[in-house]
A and B are shown apart, each in its own frame.
Chain A
């Protein structure tokens, strides 16, 4: 069964304290893996798409990486405005979209 899990469920960081969020998946065929950020009361905001193992993408303090079984979202020197829920999703080879449960990140000043 196709499945996406994320860990940890919640993460509290001090401002400037770097860390990583994990997205693990089992899928019969992967067409792409996505990372989104969601603020309370808003729709998800697109961050990255990764297509194949070994691929990496960066945007400001965020860096996403992909292996054959998991993806990591690395947050370097986070700021309070990085506080949000980070969602991982994937599209399977038959175009089914599956979202993970998300990681709620709080960055404390």
Chain B
């Protein structure tokens, strides 16, 4: 069974630009969560989507948004990029909402210059 895939794997953007990251969950998994990982703050929860609806949200500004499609694939968007947005963005999928066993993708490394 294929794992969680994320594209692109690496991205370099300039301050003020916007970026869209993509995540394809494991086949059959309906919940997708997004996390930001930085050396200083560790892993922080961004949001969780299930059945195309955002079900839970972390403490991030509105510049961070996401969506989920009918095939469970998900995208997250960051607008007006700031230097502090440089991080590893991880996507995790699970069978159902609030399921406890999550499977992570390899992440997208975003660098903002």
Contact = CB atoms under 8 A, between A and B. Distances in A.
Interface of A: 31-32, 34, 36, 41-46, 49, 51, 87, 89, 91, 95-102
Contacts of B107: 42-43
Nearest to B101: A46
B45 A98 contact: yes
B64 interface: no
Name the prevailing secondary structure of the B interface residues. Answer: strand
A93 to B, nearest CB: 11
Nearest to B90: A43
Given A42-B106, A95-B48, A99-B35, 18 more contacts: A31-B98, A31-B100, A32-B100, A43-B104, A43-B106, A43-B107, A44-B90, A44-B92, A46-B101, A46-B102, A49-B101, A51-B100, A91-B98, A97-B33, A97-B56, A98-B45, A101-B42, A102-B42
Contact of A44 (B43, B45, B48, B56): B43
